[in-house]
Structure 1
């Protein structure tokens, strides 16, 4: 096993600068083997993947001693390269023995592309529009899709297959843009600064991920003018709007494909003469075509087709441009890994031309710095493509720790992301605990898993017992505390703050429980939102771990002279955390865990408890 003390990429004695670097940076690298091991020569081997696997070998001359350690150093010049560099080291002795150190990733990004800071600094709130708030029971007559509308707001979503064996998602509850506008004061009270909407465009299904018309707000939600009014009202409260861009696939029922003939114009399914026919790939027209994950109701689009690119991106009145001009401030790109890099790059450029402060966030479930999709290493975070990603690695690591894992593994997972991502991308991550694609976070934390071994009917009917709910609430408060204190935008899925339960879709997409909210949780989220809005360290501060072992996780965020500490105990026993300052220097935010006059430098953390503490201003 290689001695890890020889080289640690996170140790400034071994590598500077830390983590990803802009193109043109000379990266200083130093090996620190024990002198007693007798190494006499060292070589750096760097593989420039995006230059056709070009390999550079750089000698590392002996540069001195540090105690009982030899030092071998060199500089890796990144020049004008943008991409991943895979680097390793070889140590040799005079007797011919050699040691190969494992290959490591260096992300080299284009520093000429800046990322607006607004998204990562503030709180984001995700809304599935049909399920958040309605002002009346709508009439679906004449609307696309043959819809039905639940008359009761608290009825269960349809989850059983119909007579054809399908779950068609044509049952609606009638949430609307007017309903969201009605609740803007509530959202502002949570500290929300960005509203992220799941798709709002006309579509046959209640989730609206099979777009029928990109040019029109779904009439059950309201009109295009209602969207403009909502954006204006939100901006007046300091809230921006992010839209969901579903550009990899569309609806079988749509203006473009028109699989059921609902629209009067010819779609690709009616005629090869349709202007939309080249957008799709038919194996046998009209019924065999490429579809997203083989789901016939979501025909896939050829994102390289010139007319489609013009329609979505390049045209003066393209979809991306027109909705930014209408009031949106950014786009979240659905299934970003399935969109070509060239498509994303053009979209990013068009968005910035339309609105210089626009932000583009991508749906990627893994480490997006080194993701390979369809055999291609993606350029997501190298500049001019995606400004940030949905941070599912954060969610996975946090859940693992809260459900009995080691806080050290959470730190390792997050430090790997921090090391691999450009700083702006790390600080612009969308940090969610739950989304429309995952079970409700309270349910997961209360029962300890997704209960995939149970029947669908069991999961549909299950509600947390009083004991499960009490445990889930305590764990959720811890999870949200870490989420709101961590770099990146803390993103709350509608109703999580109100204590909503449910397993997978559609049970995670029930209606917001107006009048039946969990007051304790809402108060907690309001306090966290206030802290995130008012404290500069939580918005943009540097991250430093002070404890990460077993049940205990503690870290600081520091901006200029201001520092905030987040300390959490996920275990069932009391724990102690040594503070980076004396207790006299602490200012409590959510509570005072100890008397600040005692001088005690250790905080006692009760089971399943977390504190957010601030170093008192002006004290050293």
Structure 2
């Protein structure tokens, strides 16, 4: 595994929504480029001002609707622009020391993909399904009829994915988020990823895995990291349900994974209700304090740092609220100053203590509405104290002495927190 992921923190963007591109209506994968991708460039300095140094991009390839129904892995979606627009974005990111991760949708494609349109009985087979009365009945991804599943036992599919990955790594990206990696056999990744690493040994591969035995999946697939949905659930359920024992349990499970790999951690992404809607604006700093003080490769979903809200719904267009258009510049974005300042302070702390990437976290004390956590390596430690109740509390801080984020009064080895208060201390 390359060493640079130890120092990267991602700003996660859903490009089609960010630039205000049409998602379902008036979408033509063969249309002339609209050159909207350039709207991302003014936001790169915002990434740096937050203290982040990575740009995790959602789908950017030609597709039929939301980007996950790819029709051409080698062409930038014309709703975003063209190859030159992408090249300028990569160059602008490189000038600022920002790494780029692309979203690789390799479990399925859209029905408009040329290989699927041209499928003939007896011809090359790249899709899962069967022929019946001269008609191919394709398997689809999780009931979505527009997403036809690739046949991962086909050498042609493996060759295609290797070619796609290497093409964009050659263009200057740093790695891949592997969409729906849990739906792809680990043996497929174990064949493909070493072939890519032969040419690009510094590439990093993050698998989207929402269930299953994470450590075994990493070992069998050779992926470098997986999305940590269990910790995400522990954070927002623990806060929203006023049951921090759930967070405590999730952290203990999280630590077990560190023996095998370092997960990718988050409290928001393009597929879930925004953290401010899930737990309430008052508790976003609490969630972010956990994110940036436990082990992992953290990401901030664009807009969460401003305290934006949005609820995901299970319906057509149900993702729109969490995938909004962004203003032209960061200065035009509405923001909750408390939440933005908490992000900046906690990211700065994480930047000062890179050892947090793979450090063990101990639960010092936990109750339904209060918890104290200590993450340490040697003599260096970070202590997090959270109160999600409506009454003041006092929590032990072990060797934590100086409050560096949040607010609280330290005396006799304990910190006093006000109602809904939080604090992070250094040893």
TM-score normalised by structure 2 residue count = 0.88
Cross-structure match for 1:197: 57
- Report how far residue 300 of structure 1 moved: 1.0
- Report how far residue 280 of structure 1 moved: 4.5
Cross-structure match for 2:315: none
Cross-structure match for 2:412: 600
Task: State whether structure 2 residue 352 is matched by structure 1 residue 534.
Answer: yes
- 1:279-320 deviation digits (Å, cap 9, x = unpaired): 44334344522111232211111011111211212xxxx111
Query: What CA distance in whole angstroms lies between the structure 2 residues aligned with 1:422 and 1:352?
Result: 23
The match for 2:423 among 606, 611, 620 is: 611
Cross-structure match for 1:512: 326
Matched position secondary structure for 1:297: strand
Cross-structure match for 2:106: 247
Cross-structure match for 1:578: 396
- 1:442-499 deviation digits (Å, cap 9, x = unpaired): 1122xxxxxxxxxxxxxxxxxxxxxxxxxx1111111111111111122211211122
The match for 1:303 among 141, 149, 152 is: 152
CA contact (8 A) 2:182 2:210 kept: no
Distance 1:199 1:366, change over 3 A: same
Distance 1:424 1:601, change over 3 A: same
Distance 1:403 1:352, change over 3 A: same
Task: State whether structure 2 residue 46 is matched by structure 1 residue 186.
Answer: yes
Task: State whether structure 2 residue 94 is matched by structure 1 residue 235.
Answer: yes
Task: State whether structure 2 residue 259 is matched by structure 1 residue 423.
Answer: yes
Query: What CA distance in whole angstroms lies between the structure 2 residues aligned with 1:185 and 1:237?
Result: 8
Query: What CA distance in whole angstroms lies between the structure 1 residues aligned with 2:301 and 2:146?
Result: 26
Distance 1:336 1:591, change over 3 A: closer
The match for 1:500 among 301, 308, 320 is: 308
CA contact (8 A) 1:536 1:559 kept: no
Query: What CA distance in whole angstroms lies between the structure 2 residues aligned with 1:522 and 1:579?
Result: 25
Gap regions ≥5 residues in structure 1: 1-114, 150-173, 259-266, 371-378, 446-471, 616-620
- 1:492-515 deviation digits (Å, cap 9, x = unpaired): 112111222221122222223562
Query: What CA distance in whole angstroms lies between the structure 1 residues aligned with 2:75 and 2:344?
Result: 34
Tell me how many residue pairs correspond in the alignment: 415
- 1:166-221 deviation digits (Å, cap 9, x = unpaired): xxxxxxxx78431222210011111222211111111111x200111011111222
- Report how far residue 367 of structure 1 moved: 5.0
- Report how far residue 404 of structure 1 moved: 3.3
- 1:398-422 deviation digits (Å, cap 9, x = unpaired): 1121123432332223212422x25
Query: What CA distance in whole angstroms lies between the structure 2 residues aligned with 1:381 and 1:146?
Result: 39
Gap regions ≥5 residues in structure 2: 313-318
Query: What CA distance in whole angstroms lies between the structure 1 residues aligned with 2:12 and 2:160?
Result: 27
- 1:86-107 deviation digits (Å, cap 9, x = unpaired): xxxxxxxxxxxxxxxxxxxxxx
Task: State whether structure 2 residue 44 is matched by structure 1 residue 144.
Answer: no
- Report how far residue 556 of structure 1 moved: 2.1
Cross-structure match for 1:568: 386
TM-score normalised by structure 1 residue count = 0.62
CA contact (8 A) 1:537 1:563 kept: no
Equivalent residue runs for 1:17-416 within 5 Å: 115-133=1-19, 143-144=28-29, 176-205=36-65, 207-258=66-117, 267-268=118-119, 271-272=120-121, 277-284=125-132, 285-286=134-135, 288-313=137-162, 318-366=163-211, 368-369=213-214, 379-382=216-219, 385-416=222-253
- Report how far residue 116 of structure 1 moved: 3.1
Matched position secondary structure for 1:485: coil
- 1:553-609 deviation digits (Å, cap 9, x = unpaired): 22222234322211111111111112213xxx72332256336xxx63211011212
- 1:238-294 deviation digits (Å, cap 9, x = unpaired): 221111111111001222223xxxxxxxx22xx44765x444433434452211123
Distance 1:487 1:312, change over 3 A: same
CA contact (8 A) 1:145 1:203 kept: no
Task: State whether structure 2 residue 289 is matched by structure 1 residue 439.
Answer: no
CA contact (8 A) 1:121 1:488 kept: no
CA contact (8 A) 1:336 1:363 kept: yes
Query: What CA distance in whole angstroms lies between the structure 1 residues aligned with 2:233 and 2:214?
Result: 17
Query: What CA distance in whole angstroms lies between the structure 2 residues aligned with 1:274 and 1:234?
Result: 43
Matched position secondary structure for 1:299: strand
CA contact (8 A) 1:121 1:540 kept: no
- Report how far residue 122 of structure 1 moved: 3.2
Distance 1:305 1:572, change over 3 A: same
CA contact (8 A) 2:210 2:227 kept: yes
Distance 1:234 1:614, change over 3 A: same
Query: What CA distance in whole angstroms lies between the structure 2 residues aligned with 1:201 and 1:175?
Result: 14
Task: State whether structure 2 residue 384 is matched by structure 1 residue 548.
Answer: no
CA contact (8 A) 1:568 1:610 kept: yes
Query: What CA distance in whole angstroms lies between the structure 2 residues aligned with 1:253 and 1:473?
Result: 42
CA contact (8 A) 2:187 2:221 kept: no
Distance 1:609 1:257, change over 3 A: same
- Report how far residue 537 of structure 1 moved: 4.2
By percentage of residues, which structure has more helix? Answer: 2
Query: What CA distance in whole angstroms lies between the structure 2 residues aligned with 1:175 and 1:208?
Result: 16
Distance 1:308 1:484, change over 3 A: same
